[in-house]
Amino acid sequence: MNWRLITDDGVTAPFGLAADETLAQRVGMNLSEPTLRLYTYRSHCALVGRFQNVENEVRVEYCRENGITINRRPTGGGAIIMGEDQLGVALTIPGRGEDNYNHARELMGNFSEGLVRGLNQLGVEARFRRKNDIEVNSKKLVGLGVYRAASGGLLFHASMLVDLDIALMLRVLNTPFEKLSDKGIDTVAGRITTVRRETESHITLDEVRRVVADGFVSAFDVKLIPSDFTVEEHAQIAKSEQEKYLSEDWVYQTTAVPDSNGSAKVKTPAGLIDVSVTTAGAIIKAVFIGGDFFASENAVADLEASLRWHTSQPEKVAGTVEKIFQNRSVEFNGIQAEALIEAVTKAVSRARVAERQMRADPYGCYVNPGGAYA
Amino acid sequence: MSNKTNSYDIPADRAYDREHHMWAQYESASGQVTVGIDTLGLASLGDLAYITLQAVGMPVKRGESMGTLEAAKMTGDLIAPVSGVIVARNDNVVKNPSIANQNPYSDGWMVVIKPSDWVNESTQLVSDEGLPAWVESEIKRYRGQGWVD
C-alpha cells in the first residue's frame, strides 16, 4: 500500500489547518490519496480546539502585540502553540467503504504507534495514553486529535514537541500555572516534555521528521511516496482558507457551553491538597493538582491526565482516582484517594455554581451558537 | 418494545441510520421527523462536551452535516438521516450536551426535520424486524474496531 508523504515548513495557520481539513474531506470522497503530512507552522501561532472560546484560552492582546496568529483547529482538545520546533503530523485516510482500516479508537492506537515507533528509534520510551496523549514517564510529549469529516474521511492530527519555549507558552496561553515565574515553568516542565529534553541532544526537526516517517512505514506497513498537493487540492485549500480559516467568525466563534473554574483545598495529615478545575458543562476539561504535599510528580501528572476530558459525575471521578491509586498509591506518599476525590469533587461543584451564576447573568459570556459554522 | 443488548438500548419505535447511528422518529400527524443519536453512536463517541446544530429554517440533506460535536473521543459532524428543513432545534442539548448521553431518546433529541422525501429515504434506514440483526452486527463491529468495550 502506498501513501503520499507531504513535507512542508513555515506554513501559515490558515493554510496549515485548511490543508488538513481539505485532505480529510477529499480522501473520504476518494478525491485525494491517503496522505501523511509532516509539517511545521511559521513561528508562532496559537491554535485553540474546535469548540474552545479564544478569550478563555489565549492572551489575545499579547498575541496581537507580538505577531502571534490565533486560529481554531477542526480537531478538539486544548489550546497549543505551534512553530518551527513543533512537528505537525496529519494523517488523512478514508473512514469507510472498502478500505481495510479499522476505526477511531483502534486507529488512534495505530496512529500513535507510528509516532511511538519513531520516538523509540531515538531511544525515547514513549507510550500512548488512551484518548489523546503520547507520554514519556507521565509527561506529555505529543497531543493527539481526531476529526471525522462529513464525507467519512478521517484526520488524525498530532503536535509533537521537538522543543518548547515554556515561558512563551505561559505568556501566550491562559493556564492555571503561575506566569513568568520559575515556579510556573517548573510546574509545566513537570507535566510536559520535549524530544530534545528526552534525548538530551539538539536533534534537528528534520531528523525527528525522518524517524517519524520511518515509524509510520513500520507501524502501517506502507510505502511513503514523497509528493505535493495537487492543483485541485491547492484550489480547494485556498477556498477553505478564504471562507473559513481567515474568517474571524470561525476563529472567534463562541459556544453555548461556557467554561467555568472552581478550586478547593483539603487539609490532610500528609499535607494540603489544592485542586483547580476547568469544566465545560458536565465535562472536566482541565485539572491541576497542587499543594504542599510530597508525591511523585509523575503520579500527579498521571492522575491529572486521567481526569482531563472526563465526566464530572462524582462516582465516575471517584472510580478513576481509585483506579490510579490501585497501581500508584505508594507514590502519593500518604495522601489518600478519598482526600483527592473530595478535593476534585468540591472544585467541580464550585465550578458548577460559577457556571449557574454566569448563565443567570444576562451580560455574561453565554452566547448561543449557530450561523455559518454550526 | 426495544432491542436491549448488552446495555445498548435501541428502541423499536423509530428508524436508524445504519452508518452514522442517528435515530429518526416519524410522526404521521405532523409529518415531521425527530432526530437524535442512538446509544451505540454515543458509546463510540464518549461523553459529549459540545454540540452545534444548524438553525431553524436551514435545509439539510441526508448524509450531510447538520451540526458538529466534540466528544471525549473525537470531533466530527452530526449527519442528517433524512433530507428536509429544520423546523425545531433542541437548544437545551446545545447548552448541556450531557442530556444526550443521559436521555438519548427523549430529552436528548437534536432537531425536528420537515422531510422532503420521507417515503423514499426512510427505506434506507433500518427499523422494525431489521433491527435485531443490525444491532447485533453493529455491536460486534464496534467491539472489533475498538469503539466500544
DSSP state of B54: P
Whether pTM exceeds 0.90: no
A285 close contact with B: CB closer than 8 A: yes
Nearest to A255 among B19, B50, B77 (CB): B50
pLDDT per residue as tens digits for the range B50-94: 999 999 999 999 998 899 998 876 788 899 999 999 999 999 999
Give the distance from residue B133's alpha carbon to the nearest chain A alpha carbon, in angstroms. Answer: 20
Are B74 and A96 inside 8 Å of each other by CB? Answer: no
Q: Which of B21, B47, B93 is the best mutation test for A, with the most CBs of A within 10 A?
A: B47
- Per the model's pLDDT, the better-predicted residue between A169 and B45 turns out to be A169
Are A50 and B73 inside 8 Å of each other by CB? Answer: no
A275 close contact with B: CB closer than 8 A: no
CA distance A34 to A94: 7
Contact A335, A269 (CB under 8 A): no
Q: Verify that A96 and A175 share a domain, yes or no.
A: yes
For B56-90, b where at least 16 C-beta lie within 10 A, e where not — what string?
eeeebebbebbbbbbbbbbbbbbbbbbbbbbeebb
Write the CA distances from A288 to A145, A284, B69, B123, B127, integer angstroms: 21, 11, 26, 51, 47
pLDDT per residue as tens digits for the range A28-44: 999 999 999 999 999 99
Contact A47, A78 (CB under 8 A): no
Contact A195, A208 (CB under 8 A): yes
Q: Verify that A225 and A282 share a domain, yes or no.
A: no
Per-domain residue ranges of chain B: 12-142
Residue among A109, A127, A255, A292 nearest A198 (CA)? A127
CA distance A217 to A208: 14
Q: Verify that A239 and A267 share a domain, yes or no.
A: no
DSSP state of A192: B
Q: Verify that A126 and A147 share a domain, yes or no.
A: yes
What type of residue sits at position B70? Answer: E
Which of A194, A227, A251 is the last residue in one of the domains? A251
A67 close contact with B: CB closer than 8 A: no
Domain contains A372: no
Q: Verify that A277 and A240 share a domain, yes or no.
A: no
Q: How far is CA A317 from the centre of its chain?
A: 21
- Per-residue three-class SS string for A137-166: CCEEEEEEEEEECCCCCEEEEEEEECCCCH
Domain contains A373: no
Range(s) of the domain holding residue A87 = 2-251
ipTM of the complex: 0.71
A96 close contact with B: CB closer than 8 A: yes
Is residue A99's pLDDT more than 80? no
A103 close contact with B: CB closer than 8 A: yes
- Residue A189 grid cell: 516542565
User: What is the three-class DSSP state of A96?
Assistant: coil
Closest chain B residue by Cα to residue A279: B49
Domain contains A343: yes
| Per-residue pLDDT at A198 | 97
The reply to whether CATH 3.40.50.150 applies to domain B12-142 is no
Nearest to B74 among A106, A148, A255 (CB): A148
pLDDT per residue as tens digits for the range A312-353: 999 999 999 999 999 899 999 899 999 999 999 999 999 988
Q: What is the mean pLDDT of residues A223-238?
A: 98
Chain A CB contacts of B71 below 8 Å = 76
Chain B CB contacts of A74 below 8 Å = 75
Domain contains A367: no
Which of A192, A218, A251 is the last residue in one of the domains? A251
Measured in residues, chain B has a length of 149
A50 close contact with B: CB closer than 8 A: yes
Q: Verify that A222 and A327 share a domain, yes or no.
A: no
Chain B CB contacts of A148 below 8 Å = 74-77
The order of strands in the sheet holding A271-280 is A259-268, A271-280, A283-291, A310-311
Q: Which of A278, A309, A352 is the best mutation test for B, with the most CBs of B within 10 A?
A: A309
Q: Verify that A206 and A263 share a domain, yes or no.
A: no
Chain A CB contacts of B77 below 8 Å = 148-150
Q: Is the peptide bond before A44 cis (omega within 30 degrees of 0)?
A: yes
Q: Verify that A225 and A281 share a domain, yes or no.
A: no
Domain contains A370: no
Q: Verify that A35 and A148 share a domain, yes or no.
A: yes
Are B70 and A49 inside 8 Å of each other by CB? Answer: yes
Q: Which of A148-152, A173-177, B4-8 has the lowest mean pLDDT?
A: B4-8
Q: Verify that A180 and A57 share a domain, yes or no.
A: yes
Q: Verify that A234 and A279 share a domain, yes or no.
A: no
Are A281 and B98 inside 8 Å of each other by CB? Answer: yes
| Per-residue pLDDT at A76 | 85
The order of strands in the sheet holding A69-72 is A69-72, A45-48, A80-82
Q: Which of A25, A91, A96, A105 is the best mutation test for B, with the most CBs of B within 10 A?
A: A105
Question: Would you tell me how many other CB atoms lie within 10 Å of the CB of residue A235?
Answer: 12
- Per the model's pLDDT, the better-predicted residue between B88 and A77 turns out to be B88
Give the distance from residue A149's alpha carbon to the nearest chain B alpha carbon, in angstroms. Answer: 6
- Per the model's pLDDT, the better-predicted residue between B129 and B47 turns out to be B129
Q: Verify that A130 and A42 share a domain, yes or no.
A: yes
Domain contains A349: yes
CATH of the domain at A287: 3.30.390.50
Domain tally for chain A? 2
CA distance A47 to A57: 9
| Per-residue pLDDT at A367 | 35
Closest chain A residue by Cα to residue B75: A147
Domain contains A344: yes
CATH of the domain at A169: 3.30.930.10
Which of A197, A216, A251 is the last residue in one of the domains? A251
Q: Which of A50, A155, A285 is the best mutation test for B, with the most CBs of B within 10 A?
A: A50
User: What is the three-class DSSP state of A352?
Assistant: helix
Chain A CB contacts of B91 below 8 Å = 256, 368
Are B97 and A281 inside 8 Å of each other by CB? Answer: yes
